[in-house]
Amino acid sequence: MRKTIFAKLDRMNIHSPFIMMNGQPRNRRKNQDLCGKNFLKFVVYVFTFIFWLTGCAFLAIGVWILFVKHSFASLLGNSTFPIATYLMIGIGGFIVVTGIMGCAGARVENRCLLVLYSVFLLLIFLLEAISGVLAYMYEGIIREELSRSLNDTMMKNYNYDAHLTTAIDDMQQRFLCCGAVSFKDWQKSQWLREDRNTTNKAPDSCCMSYSQGCAISDHPSNIYYRGCSPRLAQYTKESLMIIGGVGLGLCCVQIFGVIFSCCLVRKIKDKVYKY
C-alpha cells in the first residue's frame, strides 16, 4: 500500500517534504551542500596560508634586493627601480594583512570579509602586474641609461655627497672596477680637479689591494681598468628579473584565490536563503 502511494506521488511529480523517492531523508541534499561548503572552506584556508607565505617571501625578497643585493640603487639615476622594489615590499605587507582577513572570513563564514578579501586579491593582482611590467620595462633600457647617468653621478658627487661616495666605493670594490667606462673617467672628476691635497689618480676603492692612498699610481698592476657600468647594468637586470618574475608569477596564482573565495561566498549565501 505504502509503495503504491509513493509510486502515484512519483508519477504526479509530488514528493513528501520529509521522504524522497527512495525513502531517504530530503535533507541529504542539504548535507551535500554543506560538504561542498566545507570543502571550499578548506581550499580557501590552504590557498590563503600559501598566499600568506608568499606575501612574507615577497616582503623579504623586496627588502633583500633593496638593502642587501642592491645597496647602490641610488647610483642608477632613475626612480623606476626603487619604485618597483618599494612596490614589491608594500605588496608583501598588504598580502600578509589580506591573508589574515581571508582566514578570518572563512572561519566565521562572514560574507563581507570574504568579498573584501576577493576585492583585495584583485587589487594585489593589479599591483603585482604593475610591479612586474615596470621591472621588465626598465630592464630593457638599463644599459643605455646607466651609460648616460652613472658617469655624471660619479664625476660630480664623489667626495661631496657622503651617501653617494659610499655607494660608489662599495660598487667599485664589489665589482672590481673603476670609473663608469674606465679608470680614466676619474681624471675628469670634480673631486680630482678641485682637491689639491690629493695625489691619487683614482679613489682608493679602485685598488686591487685596498689601503689608504693606494691609488697614487694608475698602473694596471695597481688599479682596475675596466669600468663599472656594464657590471652594474647586469647586476641590476638580475634584480629586475627577480622582481618581474615573482610579481607576474603570483598574478596567475591569485586568480584561483578569487574564484575559490567567490564560490565560498555563494555557498554561504545559498545557506542563508535556505534557512
**127 pLDDT above the threshold of 60:** yes
CA–CA dist 68, 53 (Å, integer)? 21
Determine the Cα–Cα distance for residues 81 and 263; give it in Å rounded to an integer.
Answer: 38
**Distance (Å, rounded) from C-alpha 12 to C-alpha 15?**
9
3-class state of residue 178 by DSSP: coil
- Any domain includes 4: no
What is the spatial distance between Cα 67 and Cα 61, in angstroms, rounded to a whole number?
A: 10
The owner of cell 587589487 is 123
9 and 16 Cβ atoms separated by less than 8 Å = yes
Lowest mean pLDDT among 8-22, 125-139, 189-203, 230-244: 8-22
pTM for this model (two decimals): 0.64
Rounded-to-integer distance, Cα 203 and Cα 187, Å: 11
Q: How confident is the model at residue 176 (pLDDT cuts 50, 70, 90)?
A: very high
Chain centroid to Cα 169, Å, comes to 29
* Half-sphere exposure of residue 251: CA atoms within 13 angstroms, side-chain side: 18
Please indicate, yes or no, if residue 153 is contained in any of the structural domains: yes
**Is 209 a member of any domain?**
yes
Over the stretch 98-119, which tens digit does the pLDDT of each residue have? 888 888 888 887 888 888 888 8
CB 153 within 8 A of CB 191: no
Highest mean pLDDT among 70-84, 93-107, 129-143, 246-260: 93-107
**Mean per-residue pLDDT for 229-236?**
86
Q: Tell me how far apart the alpha carbons of residues 180 and 229 are, in angstroms, rounded to a whole number.
A: 5
Q: How far apart are the first and last CA of the chain?
A: 34
- Residue 275: pLDDT above 60? no
Q: Is residue 12 part of a domain?
A: no
Residue 214 is given by DSSP the state: G
Task: Taking each helix axis as running N to C, give the angle between helix 80-108 and helix 229-274, from 0 to 180 degrees, rounded to the nearest 10.
Answer: 20
Range of the domain at 238: 35-274
C-alpha grid cell, residue 77: 639615476
Count of domains in the chain?
1
Q: E strand or H helix at 137, and its extent?
A: helix 111-157
State the burial class of residue 67 (Cβ atoms within 10 Å of its Cβ: 0-12, 13-18, 19+).
exposed
Please give the average per-residue pLDDT across 119-137, as a whole number: 80
Task: With beta carbons less than 8 A apart as the criterion, state whether 49 and 30 touch.
Answer: no
Rounded Cα gap, residues 67 and 164, in angstroms: 15
pLDDT digits (tens, 9 = 90+) for 10-46: 454 444 444 444 444 444 444 444 446 677 778 888 8
Query: Does residue 10 belong to any structural domain of this protein?
Result: no
Percent of the chain exceeding pLDDT 70 equals 80
**Mean pLDDT in the chain?**
77
Is residue 167 classed exposed, middle or buried when 0-12, 13-18 and 19+ CB atoms within 10 A define those classes? buried
Indicate whether 5 belongs to any domain: no
